[in-house]
Amino acid sequence: MPSPGVYPTSVPTALLDVRVRRIGGDFLLSRADRSYSLSDSAAFIWQQIDGRRDATEIAHRLAAEYEVATDAALADTLGVLHELTGLGLLGHAETQTGTGA
């Protein structure tokens, strides 16, 4: 189930003051005085964020990369995006598709 504020049509955008580092095998995001380590799949999701792709497109890419079902990839993508948003690392724009229901 989508987390509040993060939907399949949400277009995530990385905040400009987030720094990205790869140290050894770790993928780290830093903002202000805090750093966060991402799992491999969360790092893949982060790398797909370009301000144009919505969560569904990112999930399709995740499904192809990790050879998992699209529904599972979408659930994982929405969860990661929700968590990163809660940490203050992402913003979102909602696309206007469909009937708006």
Determine, yes or no, domain membership for 71: yes
Please tell me the pTM assigned to this model: 0.86
Residue 23 pLDDT > 60? yes
Q: Count of domains in the chain?
A: 1
Determine, yes or no, domain membership for 30: yes
What integer pLDDT is reported at residue 84 of this predicted model?
96
Determine, yes or no, domain membership for 4: no
- DSSP secondary structure string for all residues of 59-84: HHHHHHHHT--HHHHHHHHHHHHHHH
* CATH number of domain containing 33: 1.10.10.1150
Domain extent for 39: 14-88
Residue 101 pLDDT > 60? no
Gap between the Cα atoms of 27 and 62, Å rounded: 17
Determine, yes or no, domain membership for 69: yes
Mean pLDDT over residues 46-56, rounded?
Answer: 97
